[in-house]
Structure 1
Amino acid sequence: MPLVREVTFDLLRRLGLTTVVGNPGSTEETFLKDFPSDFTYVLALQETNVVAIADGLAQGLKKPVLVNVHTGAGLGNAMGAMLSAFLNKTPLIITAGQQTRQMLLAEPFLTNFEPTLLPRPYVKWSYEPARPQDVPGAFMRAYAMAMQQPTGPVFLSLPLDDWDQEMADVDVLRGVSTRVAPDPARIADFAARISASENPVLVYGGDLARSEAWDAGIALAEKLRVPVWLAPFTENVPFPQTHPLYAGTLPPAIGPLGKALAGHDLIVVVGAPVFRYYPWVPGEYLPAGAKLLQVTDDAFDAAKSVAGDSLVGDSGLALEALLPLVRARTGNPAREPYLRREPAADILKDAREPLTAEQVFAVLSERVPEDYVLVNESPSNMGELAQTRLGTIAKPDSWYMMASGALGWGMPAAVGLALAEQRTGRNRPVIAVIGDGSFQYALQSVWTAVQHGLHMVFLVLRNGEYGILKSFAMLEKTPGVPGLDLPGLDIVSLGKGYGAASWRAATVADIRDGFAKALGEKGVSVIEIPIDTAIHTLLSAG
């Protein structure tokens, strides 16, 4: 009779789950024993990196990725990245070894005491098989759960002695539907309300990117001739920011968001929660006289929405259903274009060291390639980045950010996205804009990038502080908060220590030439760029 390992690995092959991202421990070695030659193991040096690399890889490949961490200890380290994967709606099958079944009653060293409870609430399903012979079926159910909308991570706890047990050669493979079609009656109602609106507006979120609805989103906006905003903290840009109907990103606070949408009588949110708010700035949820319609693939998001009527279904399918039913509008929205870029020469006029973030991005934009992937985890200068060519996304699947706000996701996720570029043959360079504070959370991911020969550029903006927290201190009127300065960090040495080509670029010429070099050499580069320490106003009251 075959072993549990043999039946399971055969199933994983048929599901296309032949890449394992992990950091092995003693309770995982029985799973990894005689690792098959047609599988790939991606080693990361800490469990935050493991999950976030898998997150980026799964998003880049648009398919689930298998994750393997070490019992309760490694799973605990991974929890922050699991939070991000859950809110990103990334389909991951996260596994951890468990102690030998014969010793579980006595709870020996390295037992995961409550294996199904520890990863909650940041997984869709959590399970430890009741017997070894259930392991393949558990993987099949995990795959189905991860892929069904809303997609997301799932967890399996696997006792280390299960793998060498005999079992019948059962075939548990089955097909599952991965898209939820919207209710036709609800679609007709939404279409009628959109057509009857005098001044509607669209708000798009990451579900559109996951449902590959880039073109459908453009088509709806152009038929309605209305502005398109991105929802707050959108994890993947689903609409071209070069489009004349693009309006920008909504502020993540109640008062300012309501003010930004003032004048519209109908707000149509597609593929996003209503809304991700942070911090507390009071005001009206919706502008006076406005109604809201929401399309989401997540029934939980629909239930918790603070206002409006919801429709649960795949965003792409919903847009395809709405398009022929809504009334075409004429004319253009009365507003100023969102992107008002000054020429780089004007931005850099009288530039002095250290440059401002705006000046740095202006220099980088001179050398940005035609096609690339951008990851952003430099919270204090997202506004400046968005107003430059580097931060302006014109193609689908080109810009990523975590939906959770948890630092430490960006660098390893960028590594995963670069792995996806390598695997698919697209070979776009991955450019990660990282704050010097964020760089410290998961810098071990640089090593994994180097080991796999990825084409990546880490642009580390060095202001020697948690600039975003100083902005929050201004908003929250909390002077004298300790721990917001970061002296003594040597970014270049850290990058070199993990094998990346690393250097400091402080002048306009150094930044310009260094970025061109990093893009041309097609390896892993870490560029430390000093910027000024000016603190920006975060949000104004609505």
Structure 2
Amino acid sequence: MTATNEAAPSRTVRDATLDVLRALGLTTVFSNPSHTEMKLFEYWPEDEFRFVMGLQEAAVVGMADGYAQGTGEPALVLINGGPGLGNAMGSVYTAAAANTPMVILGGQQARKMLLGDPFLVAKDATQLPRPYIKWAGEPGRPQDVPALIAQAYQIAKQAPQGPVFVAVPEDDWVRPADPEPVRIAQVESAVVPDPAVLARIAAALDGAERPGLVAGGPVDAQGARGDLIALAEKLNARVWGAPVWNRGAFPEDHPLFAGVLPPIPELVNERLAAQHDVVVVLGGPAFTLFTAWDLFSTAPADLDRTPRPQLTPDVRFLHVTDNPQAAAATLADQSFVAPPGAVVKGLVPLVSERERTELAPVREPVAVPEPSTPLTQAYLFHVLSQELPADAQLFEELPIARADFHEQIPLGADNGYFATASGALGFPFAGAVGYALAHPEKRAVVVVGEGSAQYTLHALWTAAQHQLPVTFVIPDNSGYLSLKYYLQDQKSWQKGWDLSGVDMAQLARGFGVRGERVESPEGLREALRTALTADGPVLLDVVVADPGLFRL
């Protein structure tokens, strides 16, 4: 019997997938590809798709996170679904906490190889990223890949938004496509706040003697920042940043801004009970907590008979979130599942206008720091604030220095503010690069310690390759100082926090980014001015003194 060769199909799963990606607008691809993804890139249509290479998967996902936050649309990531996804999990964890829409395609070994234990296999592929994704899938048949990606896109985009994952076997890309093109449904959010709920929240605010608002990142992400300003001014109400504030939803230089709440229940209660009788939490959990006050003690611990964290009964708390899980876990008195941005917009015409009276300050006046050698981080931030472009987009990760940052850099209405939404380090360094790819007309400014920078350091190379307008400012205190002050006996613990010898300027130059080390006040202003107006990326490694015990 003579074997015959059938003609190769003219249309493959790869072709059909590229059509779906075009239709969905997923034409920027963040990737650090491995062998299991290469078939997708054969005859790559580079005139239609922008390929953004990263040197390590954590940086790749972090860049995609920043890009998605900049565009408001899902970002596309292509990495190996086994060790590659493992490398990226810290960044996936952060993207999930930030509710960043993202479609991650994970390369899987060829189907015929999966009976064994092949190299680069993704065992139980859809289980690895759980529980830090919204959804995961793998195609039952090769021809299902394009439709599965379209489905993943719609899931990532709907509230609460978040990253999704699709595992694609390597050989699926070259199999014949379904003869019928994928029908992409137009899935649009039609969720609007219940008018009765809006009326109840408005009545609670109008009935309060001392109303307060707590703003979470979704207010800004859903385009309601200006509306929140209008709502606060109409109510003459203070606005607090939600604990672990990962996105600026209210200008920090506004007279009604009260500061960012600390992620400690005792301090949340202390600050809010002293100022308000009704507080409405808009977006985000109520509340994200980091630790409890008793854990700062070094005394022997008693048998734990304490209740779970709770909010003071002296304040009535109303909570608005589009995340049903956050609503179910709320510490507030009432929680409403609705889009926070739409709720803010809807409340503005409903609440009564109050007399504009000056509220007593809740924050101490901020002293103007003096130059010194070594520099203080407060002085660095003070000078940086004076040199920032009016529309600069700030990306911050300073576990030990956040108080100094917000005191010395009161961001205005045109400034964006982005920070990690989780306890995982590394988002701002890579996120700023992704944001700059989405908005090259704006200056992205990264303020990150030299410890945090190590987690996505590879993003420097991508910034250099694309000549992006990113300025990296490193307050270099030679240590993981967020860890230093947890233990009483610092000498024995020094090996756990000491980072002496890290030279960020040299590292930057190794990745193709102009790097400069600043060790004294002389020349700091000019170095900042030059770095903030350069055509491409610049990193300033600014040596600063140990700031001491962190302030909340």
Q: Do both proteins adopt the same fold according to a TM-score greater than 0.5, normalized to the shorter chain?
A: yes
User: Is it true that 1:116 corresponds to 2:126 in the alignment?
Assistant: yes
User: Is it true that 1:394 corresponds to 2:385 in the alignment?
Assistant: no
Gaps of 5+ in 1: none
The one-letter amino acid paired with 1:353 is T
Aligned counterpart for 2:37 among listed residues 22, 28, 47: 28
User: Is it true that 1:458 corresponds to 2:475 in the alignment?
Assistant: no
State percent identity of aligned pairs.
38
- What's the secondary structure of 2:115's corresponding residue? helix
Give the C-alpha shift of residue 24 in structure 1: 0.7
Pairing of 1:138-177 with structure 2 (within 5 A): 138-166=148-176, 167-177=178-188
User: Is it true that 1:4 corresponds to 2:13 in the alignment?
Assistant: yes
Give the C-alpha shift of residue 44 in structure 1: 0.1
The one-letter amino acid paired with 1:273 is P
Aligned residue for 1:136? 146
Aligned residue for 1:412? 430
Q: TM-score, structure 2 length as denominator?
A: 0.92
Aligned counterpart for 1:59 among listed residues 54, 61, 69: 69
- What's the secondary structure of 2:206's corresponding residue? helix
Aligned residue for 1:379? 399
Q: Deviations over 1:401-423 (max 9, x none)?
A: 0110211222111111111112x
Q: Deviations over 1:10-48 (max 9, x none)?
A: 111111100110001000001121111210110000000
Give the C-alpha shift of residue 229 in structure 1: 0.3
Aligned counterpart for 1:223 among listed residues 229, 234, 238: 234
Change (3 A) 1:495 1:478: closer
Pairing of 1:122-271 with structure 2 (within 5 A): 122-166=132-176, 167-178=178-189, 180-263=191-274, 264-271=276-283
Q: TM-score, structure 1 length as denominator?
A: 0.93
Q: Deviations over 1:157-195 (max 9, x none)?
A: 001111111121323211112363122222222222222
Aligned counterpart for 2:463 among listed residues 443, 449, 452: 449
Distance 1:367 1:191 in 2: 41
The one-letter amino acid paired with 1:296 is T
The one-letter amino acid paired with 1:281 is W
User: Does structure 2 conserve the Cα–Cα contact (< 8 Å) formed by 1:149 and 1:179?
Assistant: no
Give the C-alpha shift of residue 339 in structure 1: 7.8
Once the two structures are overlaid, the 10-residue window that deviates more, 213-222 or 76-85, is 213-222
User: Does structure 2 conserve the Cα–Cα contact (< 8 Å) formed by 1:208 and 1:316?
Assistant: yes
Change (3 A) 1:195 1:479: farther
Distance 1:29 1:256 in 2: 52
The one-letter amino acid paired with 1:484 is W
User: Does structure 1 conserve the Cα–Cα contact (< 8 Å) formed by 2:273 and 2:314?
Assistant: no
User: Does structure 2 conserve the Cα–Cα contact (< 8 Å) formed by 1:231 and 1:250?
Assistant: yes
Distance 1:453 1:180 in 2: 40
Once the two structures are overlaid, the 10-residue window that deviates more, 21-30 or 303-312, is 303-312
Aligned residue for 2:341? 316
User: Is it true that 1:285 corresponds to 2:299 in the alignment?
Assistant: no
- What's the secondary structure of 1:364's corresponding residue? helix
Distance 2:392 2:473 in 1: 14
Q: Deviations over 1:179-213 (max 9, x none)?
A: 63122222222222222222211000001011100
User: Does structure 2 conserve the Cα–Cα contact (< 8 Å) formed by 1:246 and 1:338?
Assistant: no
User: Is it true that 1:517 corresponds to 2:530 in the alignment?
Assistant: yes
Pairing of 1:466-477 with structure 2 (within 5 A): 466-473=480-487
Distance 1:322 1:195 in 2: 11
Distance 1:201 1:149 in 2: 26
Count how many residue pairs are aligned between Structure 1 and Structure 2.
526
Q: Deviations over 1:52-107 (max 9, x none)?
A: 00000111111111101113010100100000000111110001111111221223
Q: What RMSD in Å do the two structures reach over aligned CA positions?
A: 1.8
User: Does structure 2 conserve the Cα–Cα contact (< 8 Å) formed by 1:227 and 1:333?
Assistant: no
Give the C-alpha shift of residue 396 in structure 1: 5.1
Distance 1:452 1:331 in 2: 48
Give the C-alpha shift of residue 397 in structure 1: 6.2
Distance 1:317 1:225 in 2: 20
Aligned residue for 2:285? 273
User: Does structure 1 conserve the Cα–Cα contact (< 8 Å) formed by 2:484 and 2:490?
Assistant: no
Gaps of 5+ in 2: 1-9, 295-306
Give the C-alpha shift of residue 338 in structure 1: 4.4
User: Does structure 2 conserve the Cα–Cα contact (< 8 Å) formed by 1:228 and 1:247?
Assistant: yes
Distance 2:442 2:431 in 1: 15
Change (3 A) 1:368 1:240: same
Change (3 A) 1:438 1:15: same
Distance 1:223 1:520 in 2: 38
